[in-house]
Amino acid sequence: MTNKGTPLVEMRDISISFGGIKAVDHVTIDLYPGEVVGLLGHNGAGKSTLIKCLSGAYQMDSGEIFINGNKAEIRSPRDARGYNIETIYQTLALADNLDAASNLFLGRELIGPGGFLNDIAMEAETRKIMGRLNPNFRKFNVPVSALSGGQRQSVAIARAVYFNARILIMDEPTAALGPHETQMVAELIAELKKQGLGIFLIEHDIHAVMELCDRAVVMKNGQRVGTVNVSDVTDDDILGMIILGKNPPQAY
Amino acid sequence: MSSSSNTRAGATSGPVSRFLKATEIDTRLLGMIGALLLIWVGFHLFGVFFKGSGSFLTPRNLWNLSVQTASIGIMACGMVLVIVTRHIDLSVGSVLGFCAMVMGIVQARILPEFLGLGHPLIWVITALVGMALGAAIGAFHGWLVAYRGIPAFIVTLGGLLVWRGFAFLLARGETISPLDSTFSLLGGGPYGAIGAMGSWIVALIACAAILWMLWNGRRTRALHDFPQRPVWAEGVLAALGCGLVIGATLLVNAYPWPKGIVRQYAAANNLEVPEAGLFISHGWAIPVLIMLGVGVVMTVVSTRTRFGRYVFAMGGNPDAAELSGINTKWMTVKIFAVMGFLTGLSSVVASARLNSATNALGTLDELYVIAAAVIGGTSLAGGVGTIYGAIIGALVMQSLQTGMVLIGFDAALQNIVVGSVLVLAVWLDIVYRKRAK
């Protein structure tokens, strides 16, 4: 797959360190519209840290981020949302004591007359989007702590999708899910791709990467090992990159 | 606590659980009210059997009980927000004492020099100073917690010592008394209540508000085709709500002014006192109305505004709140400022009731406030709590203390009972939550 034109996201020469340890060391990656880029590597390779610079959870020490070719300043999750970047975190980032609608609209509540929360409208919108994403979802009026892993995940995904994300970051979206729900997430990713979103997918499962991603970026010890077009390589090539840090000839 | 609603399969069959489901009444609320009634009836019967006559369930005692609850109840509303966000405020008693001392000096020493003694603006300026001071102290505590990363326990433990010390230094331990005569009405007493007519007006407004809320709820649900409560359930709720308001108003109107006050009042207004005496009702006491007003406003704030939603989100998952773009640090400052503001307000009520400012005012109040919030179902683990629960919790605490005084328990025994009830209440709550899951 060849990408032409301006990338949706370009992260140039990003570095960030914690207490003298270089968690991310001069890494450059990019993402084009309608593309899924997998980020792979061992635990502690720096994938999540790198992507948190984009979602605003961490501030990078050096480097630049370009969105649609324009330099972007991302200092907080709010800034990231301003660039239509939505993140689905590994830990789901849901407030367990609130219901699905409250979580979906958290930080962006619908306000009715008098400046009060319009809970009814938020619930109605939540019912609409959940009807699309997960038609079996019924538990609208209970805290999300009472939901199953898959139901929670669909709330987290609904939150990211509802607000017209252009760039979606998914941190191991299927880690806690059963096979049926994993399939649901895969279908959703394909659907969003068709709509022209760019998706960064952090994933450990090599088969999921082969199935879902267009390109894969492999990281090791905070550095980028290489990037491959998934259709050009085998799982063994990618495993070799992850484990040994050895690039196949197709990599760049 | 009623538990029938939580058994799985057979739950739909029982009339009680069907009733609860239809009316959507919180079973925990019922449990708390049940416990409160149990305490009231228990103390009354104890009086009937062992002292010859029960004195608990009398208009006089219940009216006094409501006034005594006001100060703790007001602060408990703020403490709910603090505890829901997984913080604690140990300084409220000392801040209350400090604010009272400052207000005492402002109204008794500073303002009379400029405005003249008894000027009608004195009480307004004084109360505003007290509330602003409380809010500022609270905001300062919140800033230390949020932006300097010091645990709230430590910040407010320090505050507990610091502000009590300042309260003493301000007047070198003297008691400032009497206070401005209008100001002292805010603390209750025969003149600090709104009388029978005023009480009925308040009751009418409250009933209208209840009916409007039920109607508005139905209307907005209909707008989105959401399921409605059955009409009979709405009727029951309306009857319960309005019945409670009217019953309470009848009660406060049934407590007449003492004879001495009536004589004084009659003399001042050239009224003739008939042979049988003149029946002048107290009606709702001003501090109680302040507490109820705070309760309503804080309930709206905590359930119907962004601020309230963020408070609960921060309590449920601080990281999620932060990642959702909520400025959690600034929120923490605001939450502590609200707590401080309510402490200032409570300080107005408490010092007005005593008609004096002493440096010991509010000692140990922090513990009663925390206990009230916790008995009212606020979880120290964060994320869970209600304003009405905290007010009922304050009422439970005060009922226990009043009741034990009435039946003549000594102070040591009172502490033992109050402490045990606190632990018991939290244990029952834990058991209830486990069953509810």
Average of per-residue pLDDT across B365-378: 92
Q: Are A168 and A160 in contact (CB under 8 A)?
A: yes
CB contacts of B304 in chain A (<8 Å) are 116-117, 119
Domain range for residue B261?
A: 193-282
Q: Are B152 and B82 in contact (CB under 8 A)?
A: yes
Chain A nearest CA to B153, separation (Å) = 23
CB contacts of B223 in chain A (<8 Å) are 120
Q: Is A123 in Cβ contact with B309 (below 8 Å)?
A: no
If one counts the domains in chain B, the total is 2
Dist CA B339 CA B84 (whole Å): 12
In degrees, to the nearest 5, what angle opens at C-alpha B117 toward C-alphas B114 and B119? 80
* Type of residue at A44: G
Sheet holding A85-88, edge to edge: A85-88, A167-171, A198-202, A36-40, A215-220, A223-229
In a domain, B12, yes or no: no
CB atoms within 10 A of CB B368: 23
Nearest residue in A to B383, CA atom: A97
Mean pLDDT of the residues in chain B: 90
Partner residue facing B320 (CB), from A78, A95, A115:
A95
Q: Is B324 in Cβ contact with A107 (below 8 Å)?
A: yes
Q: What are phi and psi of A160, to 5 degrees?
A: -70, -40
A238 pLDDT above the threshold of 80: yes
Q: Does B321 touch chain A (CB under 8 A)?
A: yes
Same domain, B246 and B391: no
CB contacts of B312 in chain A (<8 Å) are 95, 97-98
Q: Which residue has the higher pLDDT, B294 or A222?
A: B294
CATH fold, domain A1-83+164-251, is: Rossmann fold (3.40.50)
In a domain, B216, yes or no: yes
Q: Does A168 touch chain B (CB under 8 A)?
A: no
Chain A nearest CA to B243, separation (Å) = 28
Same domain, B254 and B321: no
pLDDT for B3 = 39
SS (H, E, C) chain B: CCCHHHCCHHHHCCHHHHHHHHHCCCHHHHHHHHHHHHHHHHHHHHHHHHCCCCCCCCHHHHHHHHHHHHHHHHHHHHHHHHHHCCCCCCCHHHHHHHHHHHHHHHHHHHHHHHHCCCCCCHHHHHHHHHHHHHHHHHHHHHHHHHHCCCCHHHHHHHHHHHHHHHHHHHCCCCCECCCCCCHHHHHCCCCCECHHHHHHHHHHHHHHHHHHHHHHHHHHHHHCCCCCCCHHHHHHHHHHHHHHHHHHHHHHHCCECCHHHHHHHHHHHCCCCCCCCCCCECCCEHHHHHHHHHHHHHHHHHHHCHHHHHHHHHHHCHHHHHHCCCCHHHHHHHHHHHHHHHHHHHHHHHHHHHCCECCCCCCCHHHHHHHHHHHCCCCCCCCCCCHHHHHHHHHHHHHHHHHHHHCCCCHHHHHHHHHHHHHHHHHHHHHHHHHHC
Dist CA B126 CA B128 (whole Å): 5
B6 pLDDT above the threshold of 70: no
Strands A85-88 and A9-18, bridge-based pairing: unpaired
Dist CA B127 CA B430 (whole Å): 40
Same domain, B57 and B74: yes
Nearest residue in B to A160, CA atom: B324
Strands A62-67 and A70-72, bridge-based pairing: antiparallel
How far from chain centre, in Å, is Cα A247?
25
Average of per-residue pLDDT across B35-56: 89
Q: Is A123 in Cβ contact with B224 (below 8 Å)?
A: yes
Nearest residue in B to A124, CA atom: B224
Q: Which residue has the higher pLDDT, A246 or A18?
A: A18
Mutation test of the interface with chain A: which of B323, B330, B386, B433, choosing the one with the most A Cβ atoms within 10 A? Answer: B323
Q: Does B383 touch chain A (CB under 8 A)?
A: yes
Retrieve residue B256's tokens.
């007449």
pLDDT for B13 = 56
The pLDDT tens digits of the residues spanning B305-363 come to 999 999 999 999 998 898 888 999 999 999 999 999 999 999 999 999 999 999 899 99
Same domain, B248 and B329: no
Mean pLDDT of the residues in chain A: 86
In a domain, B42, yes or no: no
Same domain, B89 and B175: yes
pLDDT for B68 = 94
Same domain, B259 and B226: yes
Chain A nearest CA to B79, separation (Å) = 19
- CATH number assigned to the domain comprising residue B103: 1.10.3470
Verify cis geometry, omega within 30 degrees of 0, for the bond prior to B59: no
Q: Is B383 in Cβ contact with A96 (below 8 Å)?
A: yes
CB contacts of B321 in chain A (<8 Å) are 95, 106
Label residue A142 exposed, middle or buried (CB < 10 Å: 0-12, 13-18, 19+): exposed
Q: Is A94 in Cβ contact with B317 (below 8 Å)?
A: yes
Q: Is A95 in Cβ contact with B383 (below 8 Å)?
A: yes
Q: Are B205 and B198 in contact (CB under 8 A)?
A: no
Q: Does A152 touch chain B (CB under 8 A)?
A: no
In a domain, B7, yes or no: no
Average of per-residue pLDDT across A45-66: 89
A176 pLDDT above the threshold of 80: no
Retrieve residue B106's tokens.
């402002």
From the list B388, B395, B350, B347, the residue with the least C-alpha distance to B368 is B395
pLDDT for A209 = 86
Confidence of residue A3 (pLDDT cuts 50, 70, 90): low
From the list A165, A134, A151, the residue with the least C-alpha distance to A100 is A151
Label residue B214 exposed, middle or buried (CB < 10 Å: 0-12, 13-18, 19+): middle
Q: Is B309 in Cβ contact with A98 (below 8 Å)?
A: yes
Same domain, B295 and B358: yes
Retrieve residue A19's tokens.
């207490």
The pLDDT tens digits of the residues spanning A216-235 come to 999 988 888 888 888 888 88
Retrieve residue B265's tokens.
């009042």
Q: What are phi and psi of A27, to 5 degrees?
A: -105, 140
Chain B nearest CA to A179, separation (Å) = 26
From B282, B297, B321, the end of a domain falls on: B282
Same domain, B166 and B255: no
Retrieve residue A172's tokens.
């191991």
Chain B nearest CA to A207, separation (Å) = 30
Dist CA A93 CA A27 (whole Å): 26
B169 pLDDT above the threshold of 70: yes
B408 pLDDT above the threshold of 90: no
Partner residue facing B321 (CB), from A81, A95, A115:
A95
From B239, B254, B282, the end of a domain falls on: B282
In a domain, B271, yes or no: yes
* Type of residue at B362: G
pLDDT for B27 = 81
From B282, B304, B330, the end of a domain falls on: B282
Rounded percentage of chain B residues whose pLDDT exceeds 70: 97
Q: Does A102 touch chain B (CB under 8 A)?
A: yes
From the list B124, B65, B139, B130, the residue with the least C-alpha distance to B339 is B139
In a domain, B148, yes or no: yes
Dist CA A30 CA B67 (whole Å): 67
Same domain, B157 and B199: no
Dist CA B102 CA B343 (whole Å): 13
Same domain, B314 and B415: yes
Same domain, B404 and B351: yes
CB contacts of A107 in chain B (<8 Å) are 324-326
The pLDDT tens digits of the residues spanning B380-389 come to 888 999 999 9
Q: Is A120 in Cβ contact with B223 (below 8 Å)?
A: yes
User: A 60-99 residues with CB below 8 A of B?
Assistant: 76-78, 81, 87, 89, 91-98
CB contacts of B324 in chain A (<8 Å) are 77, 93, 106-107
* Type of residue at A196: G
Dist CA B330 CA B312 (whole Å): 15
In a domain, B36, yes or no: no
CB contacts of A76 in chain B (<8 Å) are 325
Domain limits, chain A = 1-83+164-251, 96-162
B432 pLDDT above the threshold of 90: no
Same domain, B361 and B246: no
Q: Does A126 touch chain B (CB under 8 A)?
A: no
Mutation test of the interface with chain A: which of B225, B310, B324, B326, choosing the one with the most A Cβ atoms within 10 A? Answer: B324
CB atoms within 10 A of CB B290: 20
Q: Which residues of B369-397 are buried (b: 16+ CB within 10 A; e: fewer)?
A: bbbbbbbbbbbeebbbbbbbbbbbbbbbb
In a domain, B406, yes or no: yes
